[in-house]
A and B are shown apart, each in its own frame.
Chain A
């Protein structure tokens, strides 16, 4: 680990690591939307019916969260696959040690997912406002439970010394000082993602975020854009605090990996990305408008920050596993055929997906023109 990620590893290890990081990034794009979006809704619902009905972001979230959850699950399959190639023993062991507690994420995910659909239904529209608060809160708690379980599973997979004693104790819960700060960090990092995604979604839906807001769009003294800026800035600030809380819980090897050649360039990229985002959102909040150029800059900062954080996550993990043993397994996996077929169909299906979206857009636009 004497070179920046992903260099310095055997080729097959580096190959699968890049695939893991890239696919995890795509998964995070949707997963952050779901986690932060459901939290935004749960908290927003407490403001009461009239404010909620005037808040365009809550309407957007209610409408799109089910689809985003579907995409998050779908996009999550790919990193799960590559993780099983890269860290099979570690991942499987953590799964098995947490056992039923871990498996509980599946029924919880089903319930949380259906509750998102319920929030869109006519049934709940006819109910008292308290129902909406309860359903939004329950859905968010479901996703929060899944986030906690993943964090717990991940940290346990890194702590080989704990495996035997934990199994012997029969406990199905793993607790470590790093758990809460790490969970808090990833949870809070989801809000800047939500803000940037809602911004672009708002633009696509025709919300005028690149110019000053109309008076009727201001709810509780905040324009739609300022609500996004506040969401992003609170998330960023919270993330920095959580990261500072998490750092002392790391052992010497993971810390060296983060500040050493492996992680430092990515750590700097992440810090720069966070700073760029913060500046962009501050500027947008002050001017109460976010022109396209500023939004593109914020998006680039967000992407750089998220990519950097995901690589740091891997750097910490790589510092705790026996790479010599793993590299052998990676080389064996890389020698197995099928990659050209995967690449072929990945390209064709990506094209088909784009074609689907274009077909719908064209059809809707021509329908709108004719009407």
Chain B
């Protein structure tokens, strides 16, 4: 495996790439879970209708399915493709490894997606004209296809954080059925059921033609799957427990944003769960459109928080123990420290003429290769802001020992000359990009940087990661 593959790096200006992929991911996950839970809910309603337990179900199913098709088959499907394309924009190497290692799993998922689309569209088009038994069969196949899509994708996504024994064996099924697979699948299934129920409560109030008592009856029935949220704390704890200790550490105080987002996810879920169990299911409260909309918004907040945490706790990796967040291979650090991270970079800087020295151009390339996936030079999570209070020497030391400065950062993967160039670039931008900037090639400084880099080692910063296979033994 090569230490780094050079791709042209996308510049999103002041936007952090993680925000772009994160924002889209949250939106897509929410839609996908709505579709998955929707399929299960509609099967249940159709079954109730066939047992004579809900006379309104058939009509409501047809209304709900129209929304499902318009939302899920258009926005859900296209945002799914968008996730692929956005992943390429943000981290081509990560998505490249995922595709290579799991292309048959992805292919299998695609066959279920085909089933979901065909069964779903047949129901949308012909459902109202079909007898109950045929409707139920189509709905079951639709729900099964959509849930199986989750099954396959969940294995790939959970593998990123908990690759398990795949790291040694490189066996696809050992990676797929990783320690996080089952708890994550169960957790997402509960989320999907809850989102679909809440969306149904919104729809019951929006669709014209139902009387107040009919709405009450439908809300009571569609709210039933929310009881699954009672299992959320247990499954959530199992899921959380399946994560590596250092990842859990980020979300439990190690990183303030992670902890905040986890609190947001847990808090929102708890509020929804309490209202669902005590209000909707126990006291049979009527949920009007505004309340249902508010609950659904809370579910979106919970999804956003949860997905942010899931993405964030992988740091400093995108594929744990294999690929760092800046696409440098875990075992490639030492080589890049000798060869240089920019040595094979065929791409010039876009505004090269604006840099007053070759060293600053080099610094720009180092930033682009190692930092730009998470940081900007003047926008969100700007390195200029983050290092603004550091002295020159602090910058050199802190970047040379980056994984020890901030343990969710990967180790610096370049030569002392490249590190010095990056430090000079930061200083130059912080000084307002003056027209002249003296180059810094002091051999004593470079020797000191080399010493610091060597002292930091090539392993990740957290003690729990230090003894990973392929790493140096803990000191």
Give the docked Cα–Cα distance between A102 and B85 (Å): 9
Chain A residues within 8 Å of B114, by CB: 74-75, 349, 353
**B331-356 Cβ-contact flags toward A at 8 Å (1 or 0):** 00000000000000011111110000
Query: Does B445 sit within 8 A of A, measured CB to CB?
Result: no
Query: Does B47 sit within 8 A of A, measured CB to CB?
Result: no
Query: Does B81 sit within 8 A of A, measured CB to CB?
Result: yes
Given A113-B74, A357-B118, A360-B130, verify A78-B96 contact (CB < 8 Å). Answer: no
Chain B residues within 8 Å of A3, by CB: none
Q: Which A103-140 residues have C-beta < 8 A from chain B?
A: 103, 106, 109-110, 113-114, 117
Give the docked Cα–Cα distance between A349 and B107 (Å): 12
In-complex Cβ contact of A106 among B81, B101, B113, B172 (8 A): B81
**A88-107 Cβ-contact flags toward B at 8 Å (1 or 0):** 11001101110100110010
Contact B348 A168 (CB under 8 A): yes
Contact A96 B134 (CB under 8 A): no
In-complex Cβ contact of A359 among B89, B110, B137 (8 A): B137
Q: Which A325-358 residues have C-beta < 8 A from chain B?
A: 329, 332-333, 336-339, 341-342, 345-346, 348-350, 352-353, 356-357
In-complex Cβ contact of A356 among B7, B102, B119 (8 A): B119
Shortest distance between the CB of A255 and any CB in chain B (Å): 27
Query: Does B44 sit within 8 A of A, measured CB to CB?
Result: no
Chain A residues within 8 Å of B103, by CB: 81-82, 84-85, 333, 336, 338
In-complex Cβ contact of B81 among A77, A84, A339 (8 A): A77
Given A81-B103, A93-B7, A337-B173, verify A110-B126 contact (CB < 8 Å). Answer: no
In-complex Cβ contact of A70 among B88, B89, B112, B117 (8 A): B117
Contact B99 A85 (CB under 8 A): yes
Shortest distance between the CB of B408 and any CB in chain A (Å): 25
Q: Which B102-139 residues have C-beta < 8 A from chain A?
A: 102-108, 110-115, 117-119, 121-122, 125-126, 129-131, 134, 137-138
Query: Does A237 sit within 8 A of B, measured CB to CB?
Result: no
Query: Does A80 sit within 8 A of B, measured CB to CB?
Result: yes
Contact A110 B122 (CB under 8 A): no
Query: Does B75 sit within 8 A of A, measured CB to CB?
Result: yes
A109 nearest CB neighbor, chain B only: B78
Give the docked Cα–Cα distance between A359 and B347 (Å): 56
Query: Does A286 sit within 8 A of B, measured CB to CB?
Result: no
Shortest distance between the CB of A169 and any CB in chain B (Å): 8
In-complex Cβ contact of B99 among A81, A167, A332, A345 (8 A): A81
Q: Which B142-185 residues have C-beta < 8 A from chain A?
A: 145, 170-173
Chain A residues within 8 Å of B141, by CB: 352, 356
Query: Does B62 sit within 8 A of A, measured CB to CB?
Result: no
Give the docked Cα–Cα distance between A117 and B79 (Å): 18
Contact B77 A74 (CB under 8 A): yes
Chain B residues within 8 Å of A352, by CB: 115, 119, 141, 145
Shortest distance between the CB of B170 and any CB in chain A (Å): 8
Shortest distance between the CB of B267 and any CB in chain A (Å): 32
Chain B residues within 8 Å of A163, by CB: 8, 346-347
Query: Does B197 sit within 8 A of A, measured CB to CB?
Result: no
Residues of A within 8 A of B (CB): 67, 70-71, 73-78, 80-82, 84-85, 88-89, 92-93, 95-97, 99, 102-103, 106, 109-110, 113-114, 117, 163-164, 167-170, 329, 332-333, 336-339, 341-342, 345-346, 348-350, 352-353, 356-357, 359-360, 363-364, 367
Residues of B within 8 A of A (CB): 5, 7-10, 70, 73-75, 77-79, 81-82, 84-86, 88-89, 92, 95-96, 99-108, 110-115, 117-119, 121-122, 125-126, 129-131, 134, 137-138, 141, 145, 170-173, 346-352
Q: Pull 19 A–B residue pairs with CB atoms less than 8 Å apart, ordered by A.
A: A67-B121, A70-B77, A70-B117, A81-B110, A84-B99, A88-B96, A88-B100, A89-B7, A92-B96, A95-B89, A96-B9, A167-B350, A336-B100, A338-B104, A338-B108, A338-B172, A342-B107, A349-B115, A360-B138
